[in-house]
Amino acid sequence: MTRKSTPWYGGGLRFACTRCGRCCTGHGYVWLSVERIERIAEYLGMTVDGFSRRYVRRVDGRLCLVDKASSDCVFWQNEAGCTIYEARPTQCRTFPFWSEYLESPAAWQELAGECPGAGSGPRHDESAILRQLRRG
């Protein structure tokens, strides 16, 4: 019988979103599922077609949010923060528990240098981290 090894973050990781917007600004793609498009459109009081025409594009055959000219997320406003926070995409909901940040302690530490919420706030146990990782 082989024993399941515990990942390096088996003791949990601390994270609390400070809503600083560092993960919402700069170049990157925010990928969308059809279900999430429906949820955001409903949250904004829009039709799915109207929302899609205004806020969705295809990149390499996948759906994602359009960006502002600055490359920031179209729903990020400096003073208000994320204007769809309650309905935000899964990618945003699961941050920072993404495979690239959970790869090693060094990867997590690098993230913590950029994200003030990484390493602070409540401890998320291994099972919660793995749930987020599977959702993303």
pLDDT in tens, the chain (136 residues): 555 788 999 999 999 999 899 999 988 899 999 999 999 999 999 999 999 999 999 999 999 999 999 999 999 998 899 999 999 999 999 999 999 999 999 999 999 999 999 999 999 999 999 999 998 7
pLDDT confidence of residue 67: 94
Work out the number of other CB atoms within 10 angstroms of the CB of residue 82: 18
Contact 126, 7 (CB under 8 A): yes
Q: Which residues contact 77 (CB under 8 A, 6 or more apart)?
A: 83
Domain boundaries defined on the chain: 13-135
Q: Which 3 state secondary structure label does DSSP give 35? A: helix
**Cα–Cα distance for residue pair 21/70, rounded to 1 Å:** 14
What is this structure's pTM?
Answer: 0.86
**Cα–Cα distance for residue pair 9/123, rounded to 1 Å:** 11
pLDDT confidence of residue 2: 58
pLDDT confidence of residue 1: 55
Q: Which residues contact 112 (CB under 8 A, 6 or more apart)?
A: 118, 119
pLDDT confidence of residue 79: 87
